[in-house]
């Protein structure tokens, strides 16, 4: 259980951010509906009635498509910025377990993200009843989906913050995880095709259709293709949200906190991650080198450049400690 004093402390410390995000998420969908309605009214004034229709179609996303960004901002504010400022050190010095502190942050943030979008959904439903648009497509599916996706994004960035010691590391780690399935599967497959001339990617596509593999990549949910596909796809980001929460909970509870400013709080991550970054640099620049000249020479030169770039990026980001703000 989380102590009420800890809840109050987290609320007061992030009150402005929490209120701004709450208001943004609650109002963005009703305002989008009103914007479409005013556009329709403008059409009625300027054109014949037959050429104007008032329809709401969520398959194209609209303003709500950026809801996930609120999860990123909130997670950075709760962990990354607090850690960089040193205020998280004060929180950790209070007579609470680290698991309690993480849960207080996480569930307060999750409550703000969920309740605000739920209220926005109810207001939007009321507006739709009052304004009576000609058609409303994918409304319930999209709103529920954005709630899940926003929560997944928040859980991912919170987990990244629990693993890392500064804001830059938190964002870079979250972004890397968001595209990790592509890096692990597609990038090596492309390089195998270059070296051996075998169509590996086509075999992967046969084994795993895009509808399955594509939605295992968190960044895919920034788009809106999932809206017109099966509603059961939303089970994937829901499951990923729980995994990210557990990773964040375990990391925040078990990893040391004295390495503030370091890329990773757990020093054992430094060398393996550096090797992985160099490997991805070699594979990525090797592919671009081959694409530029369609030759093995260009491929080898690209791999050499990638090794150097990967080493420099990993060295200066992982082994150089940042100062408090």
pLDDT band at 204 (very low <50, low <70, confident <90, very high): low
- Which pLDDT score, from 0 to 100, does residue 79 have? 92
pLDDT of residue 298: 83
What pLDDT score was predicted for residue 270?
85
Sort 83 into a burial class: Cβ within 10 Å, 0-12 / 13-18 / 19+.
Answer: buried
**pLDDT at residue 108, as a whole number:** 93
CB 240 within 8 A of CB 68: no
Residue 265 has φ and ψ, to the nearest 5°, of -75, -30
Three-class SS of 193-215: HHHHCCCHHHHHHHHCCHHHHHH
Q: What is the pTM of this model?
A: 0.89
Full DSSP string of 143-168: HHHHHHHHHHHHHHHHHHHHHBSSHH
pLDDT value of residue 123: 93
Tell me if residue 262 falls in helix, strand or coil: coil
In 3D space, the residue among 84, 118, 25, 68 whose CA is nearest the CA of residue 222 turns out to be: 68
Six-digit token pair at 104?
A: 């207080």
Where is average pLDDT lowest: 42-46, 72-76, 165-169, 265-269? Answer: 42-46
Per-residue pLDDT, averaged over 228-236, amounts to 84
pLDDT digits (tens, 9 = 90+) for 253-296: 988 777 777 888 888 888 888 899 899 888 888 888 877 777 78
Contact 181, 212 (CB under 8 A): no
What's the rounded Cα separation, in Å, for the pair 319 and 311?
11
| Percent of the chain topping pLDDT 70 | 91
Cα–Cα separations (whole angstroms), residue 228 to 140, 149, 205: 12, 15, 21
How much is the average pLDDT of 239-254?
A: 94
Average pLDDT for residues 68-87, to the nearest whole number? 91
pLDDT in tens, 18-66: 999 999 999 999 998 888 888 877 777 776 655 677 788 888 777 778 8
Q: List, as one string, the DSSP characters of 22-55.
A: HHHHHHHHHHHHHHHHHHHHHHHHHS-GGG---E
Instruction: Please provide the average confidence, as pLDDT, over all residues in the chain.
Output: 85
Residue 10 has pLDDT above 90, yes or no: no
CA distance 201 to 99: 43
Tens of pLDDT along 104-146? 999 999 999 999 999 999 999 999 899 888 888 888 889 999 9
For the chain, how big is the Rg over CA atoms in Å? 23
Chain center to CA of 283: 24
In this predicted structure, what is the pLDDT of residue 17? 93
Lowest mean pLDDT among 45-49, 134-138, 158-162, 171-175: 45-49
Q: Which residues contact 85 (CB under 8 A, 6 or more apart)?
A: 324, 325
Interior/surface letters 92-123, b for 16+ CB within 10 angstroms, e for the rest: eeeebebebbbbbbbebbbebbbebbebbbeb
Exposed/middle/buried for 143, CB within 10 Å: 0-12, 13-18, 19+?
Answer: buried
Q: What is the pLDDT of residue 216?
A: 84
């Amino acid at each position: 259980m989380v102590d009420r004093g800890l809840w109050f402390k987290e609320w007061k410390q992030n009150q402005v951010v929490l209120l701004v995000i709450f208001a943004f998420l609650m109002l963005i969908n009703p305002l989008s509906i009103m914007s479409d309605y005013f556009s329709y009214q403008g059409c009625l004034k300027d054109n014949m009635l037959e050429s104007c229709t008032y329809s709401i179609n969520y398959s194209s996303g609209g303003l709500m498509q950026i809801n996930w960004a609120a999860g990123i901002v909130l997670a950075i504010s709760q962990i990354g910025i607090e850690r960089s400022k040193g205020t998280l050190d004060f929180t950790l010095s209070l007579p609470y377990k680290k698991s309690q502190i993480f849960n207080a942050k996480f569930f307060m943030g999750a409550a703000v993200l969920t309740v605000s979008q739920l209220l926005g959904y109810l207001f939007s439903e009321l507006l739709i009843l009052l304004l009576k648009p000609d058609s409303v497509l994918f409304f319930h599916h999209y709103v529920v989906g954005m709630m899940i996706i926003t929560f997944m994004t928040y859980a991912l960035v919170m987990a990244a913050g629990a693993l890392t010691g500064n804001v830059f590391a938190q964002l870079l780690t979250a972004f890397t995880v968001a595209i990790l399935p592509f890096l692990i599967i597609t990038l090596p497959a492309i390089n195998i095709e270059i070296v051996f001339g075998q169509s590996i990617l086509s075999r992967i596509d046969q084994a795993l259709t895009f509808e399955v593999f594509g939605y295992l990549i968190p960044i895919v949910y920034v788009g809106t293709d999932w809206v017109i596909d099966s509603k059961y796809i939303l089970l994937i980001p829901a499951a990923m949200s729980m995994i990210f929460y557990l990773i964040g909970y375990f990391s925040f509870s078990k990893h040391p906190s004295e390495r503030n400013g370091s890329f990773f709080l757990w020093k054992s991550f430094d060398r393996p991650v550096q090797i992985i970054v160099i490997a991805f640099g070699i594979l990525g620049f090797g592919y671009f080198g081959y694409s530029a000249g369609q030759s093995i020479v260009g491929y080898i030169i690209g791999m050499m450049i990638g090794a150097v770039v990967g080493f420099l990026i990993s060295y200066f980001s992982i082994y150089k400690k940042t100062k408090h703000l």
